Amino acid sequence: MIICFDCKGNNKEILDNLIGNGRYKNYNEIINLAIENLSLLEHAMSDSGGLVIQDNYLQEDSSSDKILSKSLQNKSMESKLGSFSLPRIKENQLEIAIPELPVFIRNTDSEIPVENWLFGQYNRLFPAKVSCRSIANHQQESNNGLDVNDYPMIIAKEALSFAKHLHQIEEKHKLERDDLLTIAFPSIYKDGEKSLLRYSNQFVVSKNSSDELQGLLYDLKLINYSYKDSSEYFSLTKPGWDFATLKNPILEGFQETPSQKFSDEEKSFLITHIKNNVPVERYAYTTIIEEIMEGNNTPEQIDHAIKNRFENLKETNISDSFLSTQRSGAISRMTELGLINRIREGIRVKYEATEAGIDHFLK
């Protein structure tokens, strides 16, 4: 939408100065933020009858500007977060019982073939954080579990709205390919319904033909079936609640760099949870780090090494492309946890195991 307005000379000078100091890219960004902040101020004043700025905030203009700006930005961020804001209640305050962790038969395998690893298209963990937050907030509103036929798409649509905010961060800071925040979220450009369905199935939850839950959250044991009054729902498990209620650099707005997706506390939590409760993912991480330490540090070398590691792969119909997808998905999740670094050399990429990766999965 294009709106023309009469801009006074002194206001034009103010706009030019704001852009000149590098904090804003263009007039559009300033005007949109100003409208949002004005709306927040009007709302605050309608509730309280006025806006009070303490005297100590006014000692230096620059200091008061920063404090007021930060306050408005936080309120603006809260309005954008909606269902992704920090939950106000704990899991033990819900009426519904928190479900036990899912139990998978394949967890007993001493070696887990690559076809049984988490699906490679679960190629990011940050959407899992966002979905857990949304589930937690919807559960605290309903004080119940969530209907698997309705809520996954509701949460996917919320994620699409949040992806638009993430895209603004990417554009503002000119994030490179490996640092993009919107990967795995519903696309803001095309294939609307298809993209929403993919997200709801993969990064929230769906049911398979056997009526079992499936998706990244279920495979990570962050959700499971729950029951109340003979009705069937899905709910966060105890680890799911713990993960949802940890503060996040993007959701709470304290990231040190624009591409920081997880806090150290969140990474530590997920790593410990995977090591203790998700042997399939633990095995994949250990396998990949072992191969990297053996010198197989390119995608092709890792795929070849995995083929050699599992002789039964040669007797199945697993394609090279499926193997590549499985490996790529696991490595992407590991990268978000700081277990592996990607090193790009032109169009080529190689990997190195970090100290954290070695300490957690080799020692």
Q: Would you list the DSSP string of 1-54?
A: --------HHHHHHHHHHHHTTS-SSHHHHHHHHHHHHHHHHHHHHHHSS----
Strand partners, 136: none
Which among 310, 283, 282, 305 has a CA at the least distance from the CA of 293? Answer: 305
Question: Which pLDDT value is given to residue 67?
Answer: 35
Q: How far is CA 185 from the centre of its chain?
A: 8
- Give the C-alpha separation, 65 to 71, whole Å: 10
Question: Which pLDDT value is given to residue 49?
Answer: 42
Segments of the chain scoring below 70 in pLDDT? 1-6, 8-30, 32-81, 105-109, 191, 312-316
CB-based contact 34:40 (threshold 8 Å): no
- Give the C-alpha separation, 147 to 151, whole Å: 6
Which among 320, 273, 331, 274 has a CA at the least distance from the CA of 297? Answer: 331
Say how many Å lie between the first and final Cα of the chain, rounded.
Answer: 57
Question: Domain locations in the chain?
Answer: 90-96+126-259, 110-118+262-363
Domain 110-118+262-363 annotated CATH 1.10.10: yes
Question: Which pLDDT value is given to residue 60?
Answer: 38
* pLDDT 10s digits, 18-61: 555 444 556 665 676 566 455 444 444 343 344 433 333 333 33
Question: Which pLDDT value is given to residue 99?
Answer: 92
- What CA dihedral angle connects 291, 297, 303 and 304, to 10 degrees? -80
Angle between helices 61-81 and 27-48 (to 10 degrees): 90
Q: For residue 107, count CB atoms less than 10 angstroms from its CB and return exposed for 0-12, middle for 13-18, buried for 19 or more.
A: middle
CB-based contact 77:253 (threshold 8 Å): yes
Which among 241, 301, 297 has a CA at the least distance from the CA of 97? Answer: 241
Question: Which pLDDT value is given to residue 76?
Answer: 44
Question: Which pLDDT value is given to residue 14?
Answer: 64
Q: For the beta carbon of residue 250, count every other beta carbon within 10 angstroms.
A: 24
Question: Apex CA 277: angle with CA 274 and CA 282, to 5°?
Answer: 40
- Give the C-alpha separation, 300 to 244, whole Å: 36
**100 DSSP assignment:** P
CB-based contact 80:165 (threshold 8 Å): yes
**DSSP string over 154-186:** HHHHHHHHHHHHHHHHHHHHT--GGG-S-TTSP
Dihedrals φ, ψ of 165, to 5°?
A: -65, -45
Hunting for tokens 């298209």 — which residue is that? 121
Dihedrals φ, ψ of 275, to 5°?
A: -60, -40
